[in-house]
Amino acid sequence: MWLTPSSDRYHLYVSYACPWATRTLIVRKLKGLEDIISLTVVSPRLGSNGWPFGNIDEFPGAEADPLFNSSYMKELYLRADPDYASRGLIPDETEAALDLYPEAYRADIDALNEWVYSDINIGVYLSGFATQQAAYEKAVNKVFDALDRIEDILTGKDYLVGGQVTEADVRLFVTIIRFDLAYVGEFKCNVRTIRGGYPAIHSWLRKLYWNIPAFKDSTFFDHIKACYYGCQPNINPTRIIPVGPLPPIMPL
């Protein structure tokens, strides 16, 4: 049984750079929860203390913590658990009227999400953070094999499952919108680009972005690039942020 959402009960801390956090932003808007769940955006420049707030790192769009005046996300975790030892990351996903997980399609959504998560959502990271050639090639080939499967699924379709936007679209979108922008260059996922090699995925991506405000309004390209290219010195020691691709997403 679902409880009626109530205002002044929830507050969401997000990084526009993080694909998992972006899921929460998309769902929050799709379900019309903007007035119920308040929001604070951290700086995309992730460091040793985790995500900094805007008062510590003045990046455009980053904000100060309005509730506890924290400097870093990690401080919020330490308030809840003084023994917390990891970096202060961003929590993941939300639920009200729009059904993104309709009962009739749950088996199909679950089956798709399982391999999209392992082969694409996580696969790009396994490719990007690989330190041996064989491990990199195994990971990157798995990514593109999975993208080939998605291309077949989306050919002639606007959505992954059931002819409507579902959780499966949200989960895949956050990786695909970052693909040409960050994963092709930073994570060496450069067998093909989305815009140049996958016409069905590219069409699906652009229709979600341009036709459904929740997707466009939750995507901030400057935050994405600042994080991926500026926060991984082992991969990009110069921290130079590439100008392209231009435009960051093609028109319909």
Q: Which residues are catalytic?
A: 18
The alpha carbons of the chain give a radius of gyration, in whole angstroms, of: 18
Distance between CA atoms of 161 and 204, rounded to whole angstroms?
12
Output phi, psi for 154, to 5 deg: -90, -10
Output phi, psi for 12, to 5 deg: -110, 125
Residue type at position 15: S
The residue to which tokens 């604070």 are assigned = 40
From residue 121, alpha-carbon distances to 38, 42, 67, 170 in Å are 27, 22, 32, 11
